[in-house]
Amino acid sequence: MVFGLISLFIKGHLRSKEIQENKKQTICKFTFCKTFPKTTESFFKYNVNNEQYRNSYGRCPDNYDEKINKFFIIYYSSKDPNKIIVDFSKQITDTTAILKAGFTREEIGS
């Protein structure tokens, strides 16, 4: 069990380090929150180099139901866009910026 915890800590640290060393930024859409008996998991949609990604990242934020279908800043590794960090403190409401990030008007409205 201790080995498992250490392994998770190291994996998380290496992911964060890779993102910091190869940091790129775009806009993501918070699509849903999956609940489990003792935790939650947040899911996002974002575009990198004209390729669409759907990914999960950590626990859902407080009052997540108010943030579903909203747009936020996401940091990702240029080496592996599946490695992400979402900044829930930076909500994006600028329609032009959201469209430039690869979302459609339909995605903005839903």
Q: Give the confidence band of 67 by pLDDT, cuts at 50, 70, 90.
A: very high
**95-104: per-residue pLDDT in tens?**
999 999 999 9
Q: How far apart are CA 102 and CA 110, in angstroms?
A: 15
How distant, in Å, are the alpha carbons of 35, 87, 101, 104 from that of 78?
30, 17, 15, 23
Please list, in sequence order, all residues whose beta carbon lies within 8 angstroms of the beta carbon of residue 25, skipping any fewer than 6 positions away.
73, 74, 75, 76
Q: Give the number of other Cβ atoms within 10 Å of residue 46's Cβ.
A: 23
**Domain ranges for the chain:** 2-109
pTM reported for the whole predicted model = 0.85
